Amino acid sequence: MNKPQQDTLLSVRNLVTQVATPQGAKIVVDRLSFDLGRGETLCIAGESGSGKSMTALSLMQLLPKPMARVASGEAILNGQNILALSEGQMRQVRGRHIGMIFQEPMTSLNPVLTVGRQLAEAIAAHKPVSAAEARRKAKDLLDQVQISDAARRLDQYPHELSGGMRQRVMIAIALAQSPQILIADEPTTALDVTVQSQILALIRKLQAENGVSVILITHDMGVVAEMADHVLVMNRGREVESGPLKRIFETPADTYTKDLLAAVPRLGEMTGTTQPKRAPAAPKKPEAAAKPDAMAPVVDVENLVVRFDIKGGILQRPIKRVHAVEGVTFQIKPGETLSLVGESGCGKSTTGKALLNLIPWRGNIRVGGKETAGLTGPERKQVLRDIQMIFQDPYASLDPRMRVGDLVAEPLVIHGLASGSELTDRVEYLFRRTGLSADQMKRYPHEFSGGQRQRICIARALSLSPKVIVADESVAALDVSIQAQVLDLLQDIQNETGISYLFISHDMAVVEQISHRVAVMYMGRFVESGTRAQVFENPQHPYTKRLMEAVPVADPDRPRKAFVPADGELPSPVKDLSYVPPVLTRQDIGGGHTVWS
């Protein structure tokens, strides 16, 4: 991917990065070469562990030393090899010539410093300025990245901002010294599709205004299609192939690139179908349909309300109330997948936790025909056998001190369902069923990849043969190929056992593939629900349409979205104690398709 010398801003040649392991040095970036043109966006794509982020950290000299180091190679910027600079010299490059946006803004921002203080530090890093001048420039930067009420935001702390706002603050910090290059490392992975769309369009707008070159690191090929001029595909530390965006998408040369593109869920590819993507042509157990209670709901939720009091004052009395879920009603039938979609904070995960009695709630919840309210002891234990949960972060869900075989066996032991050789046989079967091997049972969670850890969590959830599983953003953090494997596994299990899923996600393309029915949530309430075809092919509510329009599409020929300033953040669910939620008007479109307004 060589460019004419006068158009090249950064030239990387034969970059080799090593990481120390107990078995010796391991190469994580292997002889990587590429050029970055002036004003160009280069997307480095690939799965987790392919070396994308290590490449960025190598260029910034932010590798965790002495565990990792650049072993050889050069990166020529403004006539000098920045990989050969001392730490003191590199401080003059960071920020001034190369800015970086990290993946998780909450862990990148200092939680004890205000936004204004952190911006002022970035502004004054290379040129001393007065406090008043730093604050003025900080406000200008927040205005530039389209943060509303910038003057007030300067005095807020990171935890007081939404995820989208925190990411905008990170962009403002990266732009504080007007760098020539902006490295964005998975800047939208954890964001909702609407916020992601705004952030990507904002980066393009700032790039056009400031002439900055961008290195965008991502595993989302939809984001690549939205942003890239050139694409560099990496796998296991090496370049697989590189070239212009359109060529990579239309005529990929390498099998890995083809597989990566094939695994991308594309919104709209289910149009005209009535079943999920991997549903069998016919039920494997047709005799189940003859049972009179076969279609009785396995989950029946009526008027679910979840509110949390915010306490304050000397006596710690309630002063405000969070209206997390308000009057939600739904059913899930055997063998059915109901997906809850919406932006962060809309009440999706809270609804799932209420089903498992993990938080206080009001209303009526029945699982397997049994009321779950007020149950204690053996009764509660029996009902909870029928409903299990797969959490978003598998690593945080698994005890790091226990072997994974023991983690999968634990529910069986707690419920007294197996012991001895029978327990071992059951666990081995669950490992094989979820695509793992029995010899992996003695390992610890940190010895597995993200996709493998999610399979362990699925095996654990399946151990009690539940009737329903709540999958809370269970594939959100996975690469597209691993994501496809996990979705295949979930649907294969459903086809074989008739298990039901409450699938919680903000990824509309994934939801379209796996769902029988869909419910769209906004501010703790359903605004639209119906079959997958009804909601995706004939959306009625403006919020549903907004979610659909924001999804990045893996098509380089599709016009890129223009930047549209956000209408402000979502309304806050925090209300005064006297607040009474308004009654919504329900409209039945037909065939179970319902809209509330």
Q: Are residues 34 and 67 in the same domain?
A: yes
Q: Are residues 86 and 133 in the same domain?
A: no
Listed range (122-131, 283-292, 516-525) with the worst mean pLDDT? 283-292
**Residue 256 is encoded by which pair of tokens?**
């890995």
Q: Are residues 565 and 503 in the same domain?
A: yes
Domain boundary among 264, 281, 307: 264
Residue 483 CA, distance from chain mean position: 11
Pair 524, 545: CB distance under 8 Å: no
**Closest among 174, 242, 222, 213 to 41, alpha carbons compared:** 213
Q: Is 461 domain-assigned?
A: no
Cβ atoms within 10 Å of 586's Cβ, excluding its own: 10
Query: Residue 505 and residue 477: Cα distance in Å, rounded?
Result: 11
Question: Does the structure show a pLDDT above 60 at 284?
Answer: no
Listed range (26-30, 124-128, 228-232, 348-352) with the worst mean pLDDT? 124-128
Cβ atoms within 10 Å of 597's Cβ, excluding its own: 12
Q: Are residues 483 and 587 in the same domain?
A: yes
Q: How confident is the model at residue 375 (pLDDT cuts 50, 70, 90)?
A: confident
- With residues binned 3-state (H G I as helix, E B as strand, rest as coil), the percentages for the chain, rounded to 5, are 35, 25, 40
Question: Does the structure show a pLDDT above 70 at 190?
Answer: no
Query: Residue 9 and residue 507: Cα distance in Å, rounded?
Result: 36
Q: What is the pLDDT of residue 293?
A: 45
Q: Are residues 471 and 555 in the same domain?
A: yes
Q: Tell me the pTM.
A: 0.78
Give Cα separations from 112 to 39, 64, 104, 161, 168 (angstroms). Answer: 36, 24, 17, 14, 18
Question: Does the structure show a pLDDT above 70 at 109?
Answer: yes
**Closest among 594, 415, 411, 451 to 519, alpha carbons compared:** 594
DSSP 439: G
Helix (H) or strand (E) holding 118: helix 115-123
Q: Are residues 555 and 470 in the same domain?
A: yes
Q: What is the pLDDT of residues 247-280, one digit of tens each?
A: 999 999 999 999 888 877 777 777 877 777 666 5
Give all strands (DSSP E) within 249-393, no chain letters: 299-312, 317-332, 337-341, 362-367, 370-371, 387-390
Q: Are residues 23 and 130 in the same domain?
A: no
- The DSSP code sequence of 547-567 is HHHHS--S-TTSPPPPP----
Q: Is 523 domain-assigned?
A: yes
Q: Are residues 564 and 470 in the same domain?
A: yes
Mean per-residue pLDDT over the chain, rounded = 86
Task: Give the percent of the chain with pLDDT over 90.
Answer: 41
Kindly report the length of the chain. Answer: 597
Listed range (31-45, 88-102, 527-541) with the worst mean pLDDT? 88-102
Q: Which residues pair with 232 in a beta bridge?
A: 44, 242
Domain count, the chain: 3
Q: Are residues 24 and 132 in the same domain?
A: no
Domain boundary among 153, 178, 203: 178
Domain coverage including residue 126: 105-178
| Residue whose entry in the numeric block shows the structure tokens 């200008």 | 140
Q: How confident is the model at residue 387 (pLDDT cuts 50, 70, 90)?
A: very high
Q: How confident is the model at residue 1 (pLDDT cuts 50, 70, 90)?
A: low
Listed range (31-35, 311-315, 326-330) with the worst mean pLDDT? 311-315
Q: What is the pLDDT of residue 18?
A: 92
> Which residue would you say has higher pLDDT here, 552 or 417?
417
Q: What is the pLDDT of residue 12?
A: 95
Q: What is the pLDDT of residues 44-84, one digit of tens each?
A: 998 877 888 899 999 999 988 888 899 999 999 989 999 99
Q: Are residues 92 and 184 in the same domain?
A: yes
Pair 109, 159: CB distance under 8 Å: no
Q: Is 277 domain-assigned?
A: no
Which CATH number is 60's domain given? 3.40.50.300
Domain boundary among 239, 264, 289: 264
Q: Is 288 domain-assigned?
A: no
333: left (phi over 0), alpha (psi -120 to 50) or beta: beta
> Which residue would you say has higher pLDDT here, 473 or 442?
442
Q: What is the pLDDT of residues 470-484, one digit of tens each?
A: 998 887 767 777 778
**Residue 212 is encoded by which pair of tokens?**
């900055």
